[in-house]
Structure 1
Amino acid sequence: MLSLEQKLAIVESFPELQRKDVSLGRINFHYENSSYDKKIVVYHLHPNGNGFVYAEYVKGYPTDSKGLINIRDFSEEELRVIIQKSILSLTDTSSAVQPKITSQQEERWSDDEGHVLAVTFVEDLWYVYAGSNLDCAFETYEEVEEYMAEEGFAKQ
């Protein structure tokens, strides 16, 4: 388990979050640019290392009735990922400018081993192909970028 100091260093590495000290030595971190009424990303980070991240709109994470996920036993990487996903989930991307790519165009991404993936945009979805095989599909380009980074791919 990461200590409070380690978790604080990770959370504070996100410049978009603002620290708010609350009762009993606990700390919250707010995302003031949230597109929703909900602004707290990190909730009640406690001196004993326990704490929560708001993940109601993040797919793949079980949350409690308040939309929170306990981060007590998260690794550094897991904590960074869930915080980034939480921030993205609170950001309205509908008005954001998407990269200009049409269904006739594709982006090529490669890894250090020479594997190549193709990314295309068709009818509101971003598709990732390995050769002629569909690897996955995403709703936003940001999800594509995050996936590719996690898998070790870079845009050519």
Structure 2
Amino acid sequence: MLSFDEKRKIINGFAALEEKPVSMKRYNYHYPASKREKTVLVKHLHPNGNGFVYAPYLEESAKLDKEGYVNIYDVTEAELIQLIEQALTYMDSDGGAYQEGDTFVYQNDTGELLKLVFENKMWIVYAYDNVEAVFKSLDQAESYLADEGFFEEQE
């Protein structure tokens, strides 16, 4: 396990991040150039080695808190660097090449239709006018639809 000082040195190695002290001797690291609403990339790095990296892009099986942060208590140096690099890439994007309201229609073998709509930087699956599911990424939404037997209609 990396110590607090080792983690702090690694995080401070990213020039784009700004270190800001918070309560109980903890530090947050802000990414002011973020194209997303969130600017805190690392939150609550504590002298006991605990802390969190913003990672809403990780698979749903990852242990994320309700705000989309993953715990870095027992990560390796390589894992910490990778998490920060991925978070920077994510925060540098504004949701991808999709525009608000982009809609795709999916159909199963029995002819049922579902709509996949890009809204508020999220992918929403609609059955008629009802929300069926909400996903943070297109890959997650498409995987869900495929698991349920739905495939994009070809024009």
TM range (shorter): 0.5 to 0.7
- Which SS does the other structure have where 1:43 is aligned? strand
Aligned residues: 97
Aligned position for 1:80? 81
RMSD, aligned CA: 2.1
Query: Which entry has the higher C-alpha Rg, 1 or 2?
Result: 2
| Counterpart-to-counterpart distance in 1, 2:96 and 2:72 | 31
Name the SS for the 2:24 alignment partner.
helix
**Which string of whole-angstrom CA distances, capped at 9 and with x for unpartnered residues, describes residues 30-57 of structure 1?**
0001001100010000011100001013
Q: TM-score, normalised by structure 2?
A: 0.58
**Which whole-Å CA distance do the structure 2 matches of 1:94 and 1:44 have between them?**
26
What are structure 2's unaligned runs of at least 5 residues?
98-137, 139-155
Match of 1:3 in 2: 3
Asked if the contact 1:52/1:71 (under 8 Å) is kept, the reply is: yes
8 Å CA contact 2:36–2:94 kept in 1: the answer is: no
**TM-score of the aligned structures, taking structure 1 as reference length:** 0.57
Q: Which runs of 5+ in 1 are unaligned?
A: 97-138, 140-156
What amino acid sits opposite 1:81 in the alignment? Q
Q: Which residue number corresponds to residue 124 of structure 1?
A: none
Instruction: Give the corresponding residue for 2:30.
Output: 30
Deviation per residue, 1:53-77 (Å, 9 max, x gap): 0101344743121101000000000
- Is this contact kept in 2: 1:58–1:89, CA < 8 A? no
2:53 maps to a residue whose letter is V
CA contact (8 A) 1:58 1:86 kept: no
The 1:68/1:94 distance shift into structure 2, 3 A limit, reads closer
